[in-house]
Amino acid sequence: MSVKRIERIGKFSCDIVCPPDKSITHRAVMYNAVAKGEAHITRPLLGEDCLSTIDCMRKLGAQIEIKEDGVHVRGVPKLSDADLYAGNSGTTMRLMCGLLSPYRGTWRLTGDESLSRRPMRRVIDPLTRMGAEIVSCDGKAPLTVTGKALHGIDYVMPVDSAQVKSAVISAALGAEGVTRITEREFTRDHTEIILAAMGADISREGKTVTVRGGRTLEAVSVTVAGDISGAAFPLVCGLITDGEVTVRHVGLNPTRAGLLEVFEQIGVHYTVEERRQCCGEEVGTVTVKGLGQAKPYTITHEMIPRLVDEIPVLAVLACFLDGDSVITGAEELRVKESDRIAATLRMLRAFGGEVRETESGMIIHGKGQLSGGCAFDPAGDHRMAMSAAVAAAASEKGGTVTDSDCVAVSYPDFWQMLSGGTK
């Protein structure tokens, strides 16, 4: 098992390019692989999760080449029967369930031990209502999908999940009639953006997405925006060590920008410059300059979909604010790569933080510092490993992260980035 020792950093400062967005890379590969024509994906994230999607689409018959300047995809009109291994990627497995359901064929989807514990009934139920045939192991992987003729449905989502929404949209592309998906809260809309560019009949009115089946997707080349979830780690590290951090090409999609809402709420000084459009996604350059007189925050259920992946590192940030920060409505963290509520509590306590678990989140009592000096096992969860590394970098005694290689899932250059900050 790989181990990283992180010494205390006096001031973490850097000027870096944001890592590519995992969600957008998944979708650019997946939908182009079933589209008519060829596409080039520039700045893809080639972490383990996205490589799982590439491997699955190749097994289905798509021609995908990984080159120095990106990924080249040639779509395939008919999908081959195959056994598909999604690794640790919930996005791969859930979206594939929807994508495969209207095609003729049979596919078996498996994943690693962690993915095999994650709930799949949330996608199986709406897809079954559309006519899909999906056999599971008590609502979990392995899954067997047998293609059927599907019909549109009106679906009100019981959970705020972009993966569930995207699975239903993917099935609706090949279904007869109209499918309407209504969300409780807005979730990330990368699926809607890329499919509209590819010629799908998809629209939104308020919190309802409408898809009319039957359109052939046309391949579209994509330059992947930066992952604001990945940018959160250097930005928070800069804040809590009183450094100056600039991250370029950050994705600023409003359905993902909850991190900046928290920055505004606590009153830190940050700037967003060089705003521009990148393949339908807004991007820009974000700079932070220390915490200053920042105050505690409150994250509510309504905000969670816009920053669900940033919660662990924002919990670290809360330890450096004076007073109680409150996170509520975060039940979805229980079913990520790990139980991230439990893992975040364990991490903060290991580093000397004061935190109390609540029914749907936590209350963190910030004291302006962490003692550190501990070792933390993220249990294979990439975001927990990176959050612990940020905590260690700002702690009085530093810290150690075991199973450190798991960061390659979403941020392959994370350790290089962290070690490159000015001491």
- For 312-354, the pLDDT digits (tens) are 999 999 999 999 999 999 988 887 777 899 999 999 999 999 9
Contact 49, 410 (CB under 8 A): yes
Closest CA to 331 of 111, 122, 112, 135: 122
Both 270 and 196 in one domain: the answer is no
The pLDDT of residue 336:
73
Domain boundary among 160, 192, 223: 223
Both 64 and 191 in one domain: the answer is yes
Contact 164, 122 (CB under 8 A): yes
Q: Give the span between the Cα atoms of 329 and 407, in whole angstroms.
A: 26
CATH code at position 269: 3.65.10.10
Q: Which residues are catalytic?
A: 309
The number of residues making up the chain comes to: 423
The total of structural domains in the chain comes to 2
pLDDT in tens, 33-52: 999 999 999 999 999 999 99
Both 313 and 378 in one domain: the answer is yes
- pTM (2 decimals)? 0.95
Q: Give the span between the Cα atoms of 300 and 93, in whole angstroms.
A: 28
Both 46 and 110 in one domain: the answer is yes
Q: Give the span between the Cα atoms of 328 and 342, in whole angstroms.
A: 14
Both 26 and 169 in one domain: the answer is yes
Which residues are CB-contacts of 419 (< 8 A; sequence separation ≥ 6)?
Answer: none
The angle at the Cα of 348, spanning 246 to 226, to the nearest 5 degrees, equals 30
Domain boundary among 223, 240, 266: 223
Both 394 and 384 in one domain: the answer is yes
The pLDDT of residue 422:
55
Contact 87, 49 (CB under 8 A): yes
Which domain range does residue 295 map to?
3-20+227-419
- Is 234 strand, coil or helix? helix
Both 188 and 68 in one domain: the answer is yes
Both tokens of residue 181?
Answer: 């998906």
Domain boundary among 170, 202, 223: 223
Both 149 and 273 in one domain: the answer is no
Both 41 and 184 in one domain: the answer is yes
Closest CA to 223 of 20, 414, 16, 18: 20
> Around Cβ 179, how many Cβ atoms within 10 Å?
25
The pLDDT of residue 333:
85
Q: Give the span between the Cα atoms of 172 and 191, in whole angstroms.
A: 12
The pLDDT of residue 337:
72
Q: Is 36 exposed, middle or buried (0-12, 13-18, 19+ CB in 10 A)?
A: middle
Which residues are CB-contacts of 288 (< 8 A; sequence separation ≥ 6)?
Answer: 235, 238, 239, 244, 245, 263, 268, 269, 270
Both 139 and 269 in one domain: the answer is no
In our burial notation (b when 16+ CB lie closer than 10 A, e otherwise), range 187-219 reads: bbbbbbbbbbbbebebeeeeeebbbbbeeebeb
Both 86 and 167 in one domain: the answer is yes
Both 247 and 141 in one domain: the answer is no
Contact 249, 298 (CB under 8 A): no
HSE-up of residue 103 (Cα within 13 Å, Cβ side)? 19
Contact 53, 99 (CB under 8 A): no
- DSSP character for 255? T
Question: What residues of the chain score a pLDDT lower than 70?
Answer: 421-423
Q: How far is CA 39 from the centre of its chain?
A: 23
Q: Give the span between the Cα atoms of 84 and 107, in whole angstroms.
A: 7
